């Protein structure tokens, strides 16, 4: 499943993990990340509605990402559903209205897809410029 600081496809940690969650259901998941590793790549994708989305990959998965667009989008939707179902554990506002807004957004995203990859960059290069 897509997690902060990890490759979208293989889940390899590609950022230095500063802190992890300690309680289920997120136990041992990255909570806060620091600098990217040399293996971290930032890929930008064009979505069906013309908007763009940036995602993190390891270098190996970045090479195959253009051929795995459906799998990548499925990982994003899975993560969105999980996050909406686990709002309290993530420290987000967790009330009926927030969960409903999340569900509406997930339904909107489910109608989307990735059209193509636009470009890839090293996260380390982006980090140095920031």
Q: Model-level pTM?
A: 0.86
Please tell me what DSSP assigns to residue 37: P
pLDDT recorded at residue 6 = 96
Please write the tens of the pLDDT for every residue from 47-94: 999 999 999 999 999 999 999 999 999 999 999 998 888 877 777 767
Give Cα separations from 128 to 37, 48, 62, 113, 124 (angstroms): 12, 31, 20, 31, 6
> 129 or 5: whose pLDDT is higher?
5
Ramachandran class of 47: left when φ > 0, alpha when ψ lies in -120 to 50, beta otherwise: beta
């Amino acid at each position: 499943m897509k997690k902060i600081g990890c490759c979208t496809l293989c889940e390899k940690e590609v950022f230095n993990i500063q802190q992890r969650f300690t309680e289920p259901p997120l136990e041992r998941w990255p909570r806060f990340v620091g600098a990217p590793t040399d293996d971290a790549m930032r890929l930008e994708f064009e979505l069906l509605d013309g908007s763009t989305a940036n995602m993190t990959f390891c270098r190996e998965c970045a090479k195959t990402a253009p051929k795995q667009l459906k799998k990548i989008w499925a990982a994003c939707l899975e993560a969105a559903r999980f996050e909406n179902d686990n709002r309290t554990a993530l420290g987000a506002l967790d009330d009926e209205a927030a969960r409903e807004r999340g569900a509406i957004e997930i339904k909107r995203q489910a109608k989307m897809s990735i059209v193509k990859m636009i470009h890839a960059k090293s996260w380390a290069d982006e980090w140095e410029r920031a």
